[in-house]
Amino acid sequence: MTNFIRGILSRLALYSLLAVLFCCLETATSLVQAQTFSVSPTQIEVGDRDVFELSYRLEGASISDFQAPSFADFSVVGGPSKSTSIQIINGRMSGMASVSYTLQPKRTGTFSIPSATVTTDQKKVLRSEKVTVKVSKGTHQAKPQSPSSGGRQSQTFPPFGGVMPPPNYPDNGDTDIFVRLVPDTTQVYQGEQALLSMRVYTTRDVADFNLLTPPAFTSFWVEDITDNSSTKSHKEKINDTEYTVFDVKNYALFPQQVGKFLIPPVEAEVSVQASDPNWGNLFYRTQTLRLQSDSAVLQVNDLPEAGKPADFSGSVGVFTLSAHANTQQLRTGEPFELQVLIAGEGNIKLLQQPEIAFPKQIEAYDPQVTEDIAIIKNGRISGRKFFEYSLMPIKTGEATIPPISFSYYDTQLRQYRTLQTEPINLRIAQGAQSPSQAQNPDSADNDATTTTTQSTKSYALPILAALLISGLAIWVYYRRRTTTNHPDIDLYTGSPKGNATHKRPTLKALQQAQSQLNKGDIRAFYDQTHHALSEYLTQQFGLAHADLSPDHLRETLLQHLSESDAQGIAKLMQQCEIALFAPISIPIGEAQQHYEQAIALISHIENNRKTAQSR
Whether the model pTM is above 0.85: no
Q: How far is CA 538 from CA 181, 311, 550, in A?
A: 40, 36, 15
Neighbour count for residue 330 (Cβ, 10 Å): 22
Phi, psi dihedrals of residue 70, rounded to the nearest 5°: -80, 130
| Prior bond of 423 cis (ω within 30°) | no
Phi, psi dihedrals of residue 532, rounded to the nearest 5°: -65, -45
For residue range 137-196, list pLDDT tens digits in order.
Answer: 876 533 333 333 333 333 333 333 333 333 333 334 457 899 999 999 999 999 999 999
Phi, psi dihedrals of residue 446, rounded to the nearest 5°: -65, -40
- Whole-angstrom distance, CA of residue 229 vs CA of residue 366: 39
Predicted pLDDT of residue 78: 66
CA atoms within 13 A on the CB side of 322: 12
Predicted pLDDT of residue 211: 82
- Whole-angstrom distance, CA of residue 462 vs CA of residue 465: 5
- Whole-angstrom distance, CA of residue 161 vs CA of residue 428: 66
Angle among Cα 20, 25, 29 to the nearest 5 degrees reads: 150
String of DSSP letters for 310-370: TT--S-EEEEEEEEEES-SEEETT--EEEEEEEEEEE-GGGPPPPP----TTEEE-PPEEE
- Ranges of the chain with pLDDT below 70: 1-34, 77-79, 81-95, 139-174, 230-231, 274-285, 377, 433-507, 545-547, 549-552, 580-585, 614-615
Do 332 and 435 contact (CB within 8 A), yes or no? yes
- Whole-angstrom distance, CA of residue 116 vs CA of residue 565: 47
Q: Which amino acid is at 422?
A: E
Predicted pLDDT of residue 465: 64
Predicted pLDDT of residue 317: 94
Angle among Cα 405, 410, 411 to the nearest 5 degrees reads: 160
Residue 63: closest CA among 81, 37, 88, 42:
37
Report which secondary-structure segment, H or E, holds 510.
helix 500-518
For residue range 9-23, list pLDDT tens digits in order.
Answer: 555 555 555 555 555
Predicted pLDDT of residue 107: 87
State the burial class of residue 578 (Cβ atoms within 10 Å of its Cβ: 0-12, 13-18, 19+): middle
The residue length of the chain stands at 615
Predicted pLDDT of residue 10: 57
Side by side, the strands of the sheet bearing 63-67 are 63-67, 117-120, 125-127
Predicted pLDDT of residue 605: 85
